[in-house]
Amino acid sequence: MRARTMVNVAVTACVALVACACGPEQTKGDAGAKPSQPTAPTSASTRAEDPPATPSASSRTEKPSAASTGEQPSPRTKEGAIRRYEQYLHALGHEDIDTVCEVAGPAAKQAEDQGLGPCTSTYTAVFQMISPAQKKALQTATVDPQRVAVRTPGKIEMPVEAVRSSATFSESDLGDYTLEYLRNDWYITD
């Protein structure tokens, strides 16, 4: 997600969270928002086992590694970038904050440096803005390799039009992403 798109999403999410905290009424869009929760559960199957504390976002974004996601590093190829981006999309659908912040670490750090909160706070709000149908679609989303643009061997553009799923996503829903090959894996940098 482009940094400005991430900023817009986070600002909208913060407004929604503040609105939830101001009164007992909940609208359909913010009924699931719980501003007192610091992080979102990683998945339905691990909610009960999650430890109460998670690593700080700054430690997660400074030194991303494939080991934290249990995956082998992706090769420095277009196919490797697509596989990594699909991992990110699936994590969004499952509300897997650790994987999302792992893959999007550099972009999240850039957004944090521009005044947004840490990745875990930002994406917890983003999760609340994705509809249940979109979350379900993201869990099995794929990427059309024909729509992916290789800028350099270490920099790939993933336009929203490349995402193939049962739901439709626009620039404002999902956005275009730039992935770069850093520290032996692909990461979202913008």
Residue 69 pLDDT: 44
Alpha-helical (H) ranges within the chain are: 3-22, 57-62, 78-94, 97-103, 105-113, 119-129, 132-138
User: What is the distance between the alpha carbons of residues 103 and 88, in angstroms, rounded to a whole number?
Assistant: 6
d(CA 75, CA 97): 23
Give the DSSP letter of residue 72.
P
Q: Is 90 exceeded by the pLDDT of residue 28?
A: no
pLDDT in tens, 71-123: 677 889 999 999 999 999 999 999 999 999 999 999 999 999 998 889 999 99
Q: Tell me the mean pLDDT in the region 24-39.
A: 40
* Cα dihedral 116→184→103→179 (10° resolution): 80
* Confidence band for 127, pLDDT divided at 50, 70 and 90: very high
Please tell me the distance from the alpha carbon of residue 17 to that of residue 22, in angstroms, as a whole number: 9
Whether this model's pTM surpasses 0.85:
no
- Torsion angles phi and psi, residue 153, rounded to 5: -60, -20
